[in-house]
Chain A
Amino acid sequence: MASFQKFNQFAEDVYEKVHNMGADQFTIALTNTAPVAANSVIADITEISYTNVSSRNVTTSSSVQTSGIYKLILADLVLTASGSVGPFRYAVLFNNTPTSPLDPLVGFYDYGSSISLNTGETFTVDFDGSAGAITHQ
């Protein structure tokens, strides 16, 4: 499982009404260019072509605190290729709902090396299920 690295701006955005975590649409962007912590919106990311890949929208299962610990629970996302996809090395989680700022970034996973998919192949973005994609206490 790749480790999740958050973007610096997310730490501020989450306290300034940019995100409505339980209801907003989170989406995955794929890139082969290393993101940096200072990136803040999707325009900062050099995305690959998505012509041959299935929906990148992520399903939010829960946004809730239990015993004072907040967790954003996201369902794993299976991307299926209908042709050549990639190469990409990083999966970037961003919020697809806000328009100001437009599509703010949350964090990214680094898979260690570039990945390419061919027709019928799949790639799973593992958000750690009920353990929580994002935890805050």
Chain B
Amino acid sequence: MSRIRDIKEIKDELEAARTDYQGKANTLPASELRPLTDKIKELQAELAAWISDGALACTVCEISPHGMEQQVAIKGQAMPIYEVGCLVCPDRRAQGFTPEGAVKAWNEEKFLPPKKEVA
């Protein structure tokens, strides 16, 4: 999939769709909420595809990976970081400070170390 529009445009539209939904979620009948939910999910999928653009299919399950924006704390501030990972296979996640960096790490199979549970 090629990037048709800017990531900011997608994120702004997603935020507007979420705000629209939140304002109506407890008043509209389910039949009228469905299109609002579908719009949010459509934009979530577009954003995920934008971030993972260029990522190869998972070499284990052959499914296209998921792209997402994450947050990390750097010097006391929340900063964006990008992640490309498999929704099926465990412990196959790669990150980068740009979407391209995350895709490169994913394609080179430079995955994050598996997490250890502490509690």
Contacts and interface: CB of A to CB of B under 8 A. Distances in A.
A75 B37 contact: no
Interface in B27-82: 30, 33, 36-37, 40-41, 44-45, 47-48, 61, 63, 65-66, 68-73, 76-78
Given A112-B118, A129-B93, A61 B69 contact: yes
Interface residues of A, number: 44
Q: How large is the interface on B (under 10, 10 to 19, 20 to 34, 35 or more residues)?
A: 35 or more
Contact of A67 (B48, B72, B76, B88): B88
Interface in A69-97: 69, 71, 73, 75-78, 80, 97
Contacts of B66: 61-62, 73, 130
B78 A130 contact: no
Given A22-B40, A25-B18, A130-B86, A109 B119 contact: yes
B118 A62 contact: no
Nearest 9 CB-CB pairs, A to B?
Answer: A130-B85, A78-B78, A122-B73, A61-B68, A120-B76, A1-B115, A78-B71, A23-B37, A2-B119
